[in-house]
Amino acid sequence: MTEPTHVKDTTGPDIALCAHATLRRAMRVISQSYDAALKPAGLKATQFTVLAVIAGRDPMPMTRLAEILVMDRTTLTRNLKPLVAKGWTEIGRERDERVRLVSATGAGKAVVAEAIPLWRQAQGQVERRLGADRLSALLGGLRALTEDPRG
Amino acid sequence: MTEPTHVKDTTGPDIALCAHATLRRAMRVISQSYDAALKPAGLKATQFTVLAVIAGRDPMPMTRLAEILVMDRTTLTRNLKPLVAKGWTEIGRERDERVRLVSATGAGKAVVAEAIPLWRQAQGQVERRLGADRLSALLGGLRALTEDPRG
DNA sequence: AGCGAATAAGTGCATATGCACCTATTATGA
DNA sequence: TCATAATAGGTGCATATGCACTTATTCGCT
């Protein structure tokens, strides 16, 4: 690879072409949109994502959940804290004392159910904005960015 | 960080279709890639973005910089702290005592120059992965997501 | 049985993020 | 001029993020 990007001056690369800067900027904007939509349910967007995944599955080890969420294990540990504090998530044990089994409580599943229509609002806004096709292509590109080259 | 895994959810919305979850997941992966590439320069990816923008412009008020970066004003205040602490950024004053003028020091501009080849590495990886056309389309979609509907 | 490797998870540190609320300064208008 | 609004910015609180390091438990092998 010779010239991956075009940098026209000596002061810096064009931030508009930077995949990281563009992603992070979009993430900030979209997060606020989803956070606002989910506010009536008392959930942040990130918490909704975690809780929705937990709610649809059997209790599973932290590391497994982190894999599913493509999230650092130690980040997950802390992201679960407010969910446990609110009684939406439980941390259980099994024979192997090293393992923590994460699961959603009844209240947790109820909150997810309550939040789904709110989530749909935010998701609908994005869809209307880009169009279903463009959004689908966008998410596909993001997934391609995220996938393990070896996987 | 862990490897991506297929997510199938029978009770809630499919997280794979959620714009927020997909964006955030991609952001985590890409951030780590850029952070790792920029590590030799002693910069995080977010710091590089801020510093690169500052370095290419005249001193400007915090609020103006926050607008350019599409970043919350109070987030910017704190993001500048480590940059000031390392002597890469300066906060100046003008006649209007309310205003803080943000600018890059000589050392700050030097660090950006040092980091640009490292940034190119990370950017090149992403380009090779998706192809220039797909990456261009992806970033275009992300910008469309970020833009103010009212212009 | 017992030792070392592997595995599962937590902590310390530093940064990133944004809302609600606050202070300080400047502009405005009766 | 002075009360008030508008503007620029900071703080407190809570969460999100991940690397380096640590602890606890189990596995594998001899």
Q: Do A52 and B7 touch (CB under 8 A)?
A: no
- pLDDT for the residue B1: 57
* This prediction's pTM: 0.90
B130 found inside a domain? yes
Beta strands B101-104 and A89-93 are unpaired
Contact with chain A for residue B15, Cβ under 8 A = yes
Show pLDDT as tens, one digit a residue, over chain A (151 residues): 333 333 334 444 677 799 999 999 999 999 999 999 999 999 999 999 999 999 999 999 999 999 999 999 999 999 999 999 999 999 999 999 999 999 999 999 999 999 999 999 999 999 999 999 999 999 999 999 888 654 3
d(CA B147, CA A22): 11
Position B9 confidence tier, pLDDT thresholds 50, 70, 90: very low
> Token pair for residue A128?
């209307």
Q: Do A13 and B146 touch (CB under 8 A)?
A: no
A151 found inside a domain? no
Specify the amino acid at residue A32.
Answer: Q
d(CA A103, CA B45): 34
B74 found inside a domain? yes
Q: How far is the CA of A90 from the C1' of C7 (A)?
A: 22
Summarize pLDDT for B65-102 with one digit per residue, the tens.
Answer: 999 999 999 999 999 999 999 999 999 999 999 999 99
> Token pair for residue B68?
């350019």
A130 found inside a domain? yes
B93 found inside a domain? yes
Helix (H), strand (E) at residue B60: strand B60-61
Read off the pLDDT of each residue in B106-124 and give the average, rounded to a whole number.
Answer: 97
Q: Which of A142, A147, A148, A150 to mutate to probe the B interface, most B CBs <10 Å?
A: A142
How many angstroms separate the Cα of A123 from the Cα of each of A129, B82, B94?
Answer: 10, 35, 44
In terms of Cα–Cα distance, which of B62, B46, B41, B3 is closest to B121? B41
Summarize pLDDT for B13-39 with one digit per residue, the tens.
Answer: 677 799 999 999 999 999 999 999 999
Nearest-5° Cα angle at B24, A83 to A108? 20
Contact with chain B for residue A14, Cβ under 8 A = no
Q: Is A92 helix (H, G, I), strand (E, B) or coil?
A: strand
Q: What is the mean pLDDT of chain B?
A: 91
User: What share of chain B in percent tops pLDDT 70?
Assistant: 89
How many C-beta atoms surround the C-beta of residue A74 within 10 A? 11
In terms of Cα–Cα distance, which of A128, A3, A30, A22 is closest to B18? A30
Look up the CATH number of the domain holding residue B67: 1.10.10.10
Please report the DSSP string for B81-102 in residue order: HHHHHTTSEEEE--SSTT--EE
Number of structural domains (chain B) is 1
d(CA A5, CA A21): 14
User: What share of chain B in percent tops pLDDT 90?
Assistant: 85
Nearest to B120 among A4, A23, A45 (CB): A4
**B139, A17 Cβ separation under 8 angstroms:** yes
Please provide residue B30's backbone torsions phi and psi, each rounded to the nearest 5 degrees. -65, -40
Question: Which domain, by its residues, includes A112?
Answer: 15-140
Q: Where are the alpha helices (DSSP H) in A6-148?
A: 19-38, 45-55, 62-69, 73-85, 106-130, 132-146
A119 found inside a domain? yes
d(CA A28, CA B46): 12
Tokens 């499919």, residue located: B14
> Token pair for residue B37?
């590439």
- pLDDT for the residue A146: 86
> Token pair for residue A9?
């001056």
- pLDDT for the residue A144: 93
Please provide residue B13's backbone torsions phi and psi, each rounded to the nearest 5 degrees. -70, 150
Beta bridge partners of B120: none
- pLDDT for the residue B148: 65
Specify the amino acid at residue A84.
Answer: V
- pLDDT for the residue A31: 98
B2 found inside a domain? no
B1 found inside a domain? no
Q: Cα distance from A96 to chain B (closest Cα, Å)?
A: 22
Question: Does the pLDDT at position B140 exceed 50?
Answer: yes
Q: Do B26 and A1 touch (CB under 8 A)?
A: no
- pLDDT for the residue B16: 77
Neighbour order of strands in the sheet with B101-104: B60-61, B101-104, B89-92
Q: Which nucleotide is nearest to A39 (CA to C1')?
A: C19
